[in-house]
Amino acid sequence: MALRVGVIGGGQLARMMVPAAVELGLDIRVLAEGPGMSAAIAATAEGDYHDVDTVLAFARDVDVVTFDHEHVPQDVLRALVDAGVAVRPGPEPLAVAQDKITMRTRLSELGLPVPDWAAVQDPDELQAFLDDHGGRAVVKTARGGYDGKGVRVVSDPADVSDWFIAVAEAGGGQALLVEELVPFTRELAQSVARRPSGEVVAWPLVETVQRDGVCAEVFAPAPDSAGRIADMAEDIAVRIATELGVTGVLAVELFQTDDERILINELAMRPHNTGHWTIDGATTSQFEQHLRAVLDLPLGATGTHAPAAVMINVLGGPADGDLAARYPGALEAFPEAKYHFYGKAPRPGRKIGHVTVVGDDVDDVTYRARAAAAHFDD
Amino acid sequence: MALRVGVIGGGQLARMMVPAAVELGLDIRVLAEGPGMSAAIAATAEGDYHDVDTVLAFARDVDVVTFDHEHVPQDVLRALVDAGVAVRPGPEPLAVAQDKITMRTRLSELGLPVPDWAAVQDPDELQAFLDDHGGRAVVKTARGGYDGKGVRVVSDPADVSDWFIAVAEAGGGQALLVEELVPFTRELAQSVARRPSGEVVAWPLVETVQRDGVCAEVFAPAPDSAGRIADMAEDIAVRIATELGVTGVLAVELFQTDDERILINELAMRPHNTGHWTIDGATTSQFEQHLRAVLDLPLGATGTHAPAAVMINVLGGPADGDLAARYPGALEAFPEAKYHFYGKAPRPGRKIGHVTVVGDDVDDVTYRARAAAAHFDD
């Protein structure tokens, strides 16, 4: 019988696990939030992942449970573990990914490079941090943020007064995370995969360009990063994966500072937008690797097909909503581009797909990837 | 709304279209013969493809119908066309693929290079062919053969007396195909794709090794084939695709003779075992290309990721049937190999998967692909 992987969540990351599972002969099953999700083709159940009974029933028929996202509550994760289900990544590492203050605390304990930060419970504490950091800082909600949501640059505690009210109402000692505004020259991302037996492999370090807090472009490998920067990034990601006991893919978003340091920005314990280029550009994609890792199978080679790969997100899509009408023009103009769409309806700002081009020259590849992706915009 | 492709037949070729469809954002739906087929993940209907009503009902909800195999009867194909369904490839080219005598007749009319052949209806006609060709020849049933079934090397008409009886009982002027035993030095295969608007693209010519009539190994590109042989093969395949009006992938199996000619052996109007290497070795796989072609979308680039790709079929699998138990050893030993399994239970001689390795040196790649695949044999 085929090995069975259960994925909680039916978004595009679950969807992109499907090709890898089909190729490798795995039986992939998705617990989707409802009908018509990106990963609908593999959905064997629909339900609320906050509900212990729903998730336990889904998990009964699989060999391992993994995730499309990091939002499954700890009580559900613990119930799975108590029922003898293999949950990968497990509740402990996921707790670090689920709460930015926990994440900063653990990384600081490990001595890893992070921006200056503090957990603040009221405007006075935030004002004190601002006073110490030039009057401006980044405030983040500890939970629930993604793609720029839950993140604000502030110069006055009043800029996040709504969040302080929510924190106070929630009680239980909750807080906001405040961080120094890092003077970065660029953003990088390092992905690794780790399996329970301890094996860890890394893909090349990539450069990422964010727009409005959303990943827009990825360059693999990161230009001018051979040597010390790449070594530091890989060491950081391997160390986090190992020390936190992550299983599956771990993506570490990094800042490169103008004094050539790197600082950890965010973590994701799942395949990540900054690794989509691996589908077309690497021997083993992050999605195949994640499946291998959570099944504790030996990990695949992470070499690249060509010197450069560039991934451009398709954000929003055509205003008339007619994505299919854009295929002929794009495919004809750039037959070498790899087009990926997630079964999502176009909507302003929404990640509905991405385009990757691989080749020998990064400038040429960048031009072609951007131009191919632009066929799907207005 | 996503473009919708309906595939008749739930075997491994339909299965391998699923990853390509998911990546490209297409809605793929399979009419499977029953439950538990290779392509079950995309099965939206189960039923008999010989039944017009079953197939018409399936076709109602898709933009185009294509195939996992060439066995859908002409009356069903014609009913689809009459109902306004886009059927690709269409009934006319499929008629050529469905009957080896029709195929030989059409290719001969086109002046394309084929072995000496005749349609024989009785033992005397076969004996006359044998007398003219050194006393030995290959006899094939006109319909229904695959993977070495329906093919016999004979030196006496009595060797196929059962087939003559069947032909006589069937009536209607049916016959057997007899062909000269071609003195070939090796077998080759040329795949192309053509879309309704006329665009045709070719992948590199490959060398194939058959064992007991079943494809066992494929080397891409075919060693020592640059220049004249490759040009001839591509010209032949492009000509067949164009003259017969094939839409989708066309694979042409060829003999290379000891006097440096090439002769057409068989045709397949669908993705083909000799093109599986394209999943891992080419910019556009034969499965993605088939989907693009049948949707009349511009075709993808057919360049390769590396100088050599070798595909080894996994035939039979472990005698104990426990395929999953073989993964750890294989994946650990050859992390660069790409493993493909079709969701089929191991059984002697059955094609249950394949392994592809790509790299710079064909000898090295061949060794690794064979050794990786051997982990799944006994």
Q: Please, which pLDDT band fits residue A143 given cuts at 50, 70 and 90?
A: confident
Q: Closest partner residue to B299 among A292, A335, A340, by Cβ? A: A335
Q: Closest partner residue to A18 among B22, B299, B300, by Cβ? A: B22
Contact A3 B338 (CB under 8 A): no
Asked if A283 is an interface residue toward chain B (Cβ–Cβ < 8 A), one would say: yes
Task: Work out the minimum CA distance from B94 to partner chain A, whole angstroms.
Answer: 26
Task: Give the structural domain span for A153.
Answer: 116-180
- Strands B64-67 vs B4-8: parallel, antiparallel or unpaired: parallel
- Same-domain status, B310 and B281: yes
Look at residue B315 in the predicted model and tell me its pLDDT: 95
Asked if B325 is an interface residue toward chain A (Cβ–Cβ < 8 A), one would say: no
Asked if A35 is an interface residue toward chain B (Cβ–Cβ < 8 A), one would say: no
- Same-domain status, B164 and B208: no
Least confident range from A17-21, B104-108, B139-143: namely B139-143
Q: What is the CATH classification number for the domain harbouring B125?
A: 3.30.1490.20
Q: Does residue B99 form part of some domain?
A: no
CA-to-CA distance for A323 and A309, rounded, in angstroms?
Answer: 24
* Residue in A3, A283, A340, A344 to test binding to B, most B beta-carbons within 10 Å: A283
- Same-domain status, B223 and B334: yes
Which amino acid, one-letter code, is at B217?
A: E
Q: Does residue B96 form part of some domain?
A: no
Q: Does residue B100 form part of some domain?
A: no
Region of B135 (left: φ > 0; alpha: ψ -120 to 50; beta: rest) is: left
CA-to-CA distance for B22 and A16, rounded, in angstroms?
Answer: 8
- Same-domain status, A290 and A319: yes
Q: Higher confidence at residue B143 or residue B354?
A: B354
Look at residue B260 in the predicted model and tell me its pLDDT: 87
Sequence-ordered strand ranges (E) for A159-281: 176-180, 184-194, 200-202, 206-211, 214-220, 248-257, 262-268
Which amino acid, one-letter code, is at A192?
A: V
- Same-domain status, A169 and A196: no
Structure tokens at B204: 């590199």
Note whether B23 and A338 are within 8 A (CB): yes
Which H or E element spans position A347? none
Sequence-separated (6 or more) residues with CB below 8 Å from residue B114: B104, B107, B108, B263, B264
- Strands A262-268 vs A200-202: parallel, antiparallel or unpaired: unpaired
Q: Closest partner residue to B25 among A25, A335, A340, by Cβ? A: A340
Contacts with B299 from chain A: Cβ below 8 Å: 331, 335
Asked if A18 is an interface residue toward chain B (Cβ–Cβ < 8 A), one would say: yes
CB contact burial B152-161 (16+ within 10 A = b; e otherwise): eebeebeebe
Sign of the torsion formed by the C-alpha atoms of B286, B288, B291 and B296: negative
Q: Please, which pLDDT band fits residue A131 given cuts at 50, 70 and 90?
A: very high
Q: How far, in whole angstroms, is CA B269 from its chain's centroid? A: 7
Note whether B176 and B120 are within 8 A (CB): yes
Query: B198: which DSSP letter?
Result: S
Nearest CA in chain B to A201: B335
CA-to-CA distance for B291 and B18, rounded, in angstroms?
Answer: 10
Picking from A129, A121, A130, A265, the residue whose alpha carbon sits closest to that of residue A188 is A265
Q: At which of A69, A87, A105 does a domain end?
A: A87
Picking from A66, A67, A144, the residue whose alpha carbon sits closest to that of residue A98 is A144
- Same-domain status, B172 and B307: no
Residue with tokens 């239980």: A172
HSE at residue B87, side-chain half, CA atoms within 13 A, is: 25
Query: Does residue A63 carry a pLDDT above 70?
Result: yes
Task: Give the number of domains in chain A.
Answer: 3
Bridge partner residues of B6 (DSSP)? B29, B65
Average pLDDT over every residue of A255-281: 96
Q: Please, which pLDDT band fits residue B324 given cuts at 50, 70 and 90?
A: very high
HSE at residue B180, side-chain half, CA atoms within 13 A, is: 15
Q: At which of A151, A180, A209 does a domain end?
A: A180
Average pLDDT, chain A: 96
Q: Please, which pLDDT band fits residue A146 given cuts at 50, 70 and 90?
A: low
Give the ipTM.
Answer: 0.96
Query: Does residue B210 carry a pLDDT above 80?
Result: yes
pLDDT tens, position by position, A314-373: 999 999 999 999 999 999 999 999 999 999 999 999 999 999 999 999 999 999 999 999
Q: How far, in whole angstroms, is CA A216 from its chain's centroid? A: 13
* Residue in A41, A304, A336, A360 to test binding to B, most B beta-carbons within 10 Å: A41
Bridge partner residues of A324 (DSSP)? none
- Same-domain status, B367 and B223: yes
CA-to-CA distance for B288 and A331, rounded, in angstroms?
Answer: 12
How is B292-340 classified by DSSP, letter by letter?
A: HHHTTPPPPP--BSSSEEEEEEEES--TT---GGGHHHHHHH-TTSEEE
Look at residue A226 in the predicted model and tell me its pLDDT: 78
How long, in residues, is chain A?
378
Task: Work out the minimum CA distance from B327 to partner chain A, whole angstroms.
Answer: 7
- For B39, other C-beta atoms within 10 Å of its C-beta total 26
- Same-domain status, A293 and A329: yes
CA-to-CA distance for A315 and A323, rounded, in angstroms?
Answer: 12
Q: Does residue B20 form part of some domain?
A: yes
Sequence-separated (6 or more) residues with CB below 8 Å from residue B243: B110
- Same-domain status, A138 and A169: yes
Contact A328 B41 (CB under 8 A): no
Portion of chain B with pLDDT greater than 70, in percent: 99
Average pLDDT over every residue of B267-288: 98
Q: At which of A154, A180, A206 does a domain end?
A: A180
Q: Does residue B274 form part of some domain?
A: yes
Contact B335 A301 (CB under 8 A): yes
Average pLDDT over every residue of A251-259: 95
Average pLDDT over every residue of B113-133: 97
- Same-domain status, A147 and A24: no
Which amino acid, one-letter code, is at A208?
A: T
Q: Does residue B107 form part of some domain?
A: no
Which H or E element spans position A272? none
Note whether B17 and B285 are within 8 A (CB): no
Average pLDDT over every residue of B80-89: 98
How long, in residues, is chain B?
378
Q: Does residue B110 form part of some domain?
A: no
- For B162, other C-beta atoms within 10 Å of its C-beta total 9
Q: Does residue A97 form part of some domain?
A: no
CA-to-CA distance for A62 and A49, rounded, in angstroms?
Answer: 16
Look at residue B164 in the predicted model and tell me its pLDDT: 94
Q: What is the CATH classification number for the domain harbouring B21?
A: 3.40.50.20
Sequence-separated (6 or more) residues with CB below 8 Å from residue B131: none
Note whether A175 and A119 are within 8 A (CB): yes
Q: How far, in whole angstroms, is CA A307 from its chain's centroid? A: 24
Look at residue B149 in the predicted model and tell me its pLDDT: 80
- Same-domain status, A366 and A249: yes
HSE at residue B344, side-chain half, CA atoms within 13 A, is: 23
CA-to-CA distance for B251 and B274, rounded, in angstroms?
Answer: 8
Picking from A253, A242, A259, the residue whose alpha carbon sits closest to that of residue A110 is A242
- Same-domain status, B302 and B224: yes
pLDDT tens, position by position, A238-252: 999 999 999 999 999
Query: Does residue A144 carry a pLDDT above 80?
Result: no
> How many contacts does A have with B, using Cβ atoms within 8 A?
112
Least confident range from A270-274, A355-359, B222-226: namely B222-226
Look at residue A1 in the predicted model and tell me its pLDDT: 79
Q: What is the CATH classification number for the domain harbouring B336?
A: 3.30.470.20
Asked if B331 is an interface residue toward chain A (Cβ–Cβ < 8 A), one would say: yes
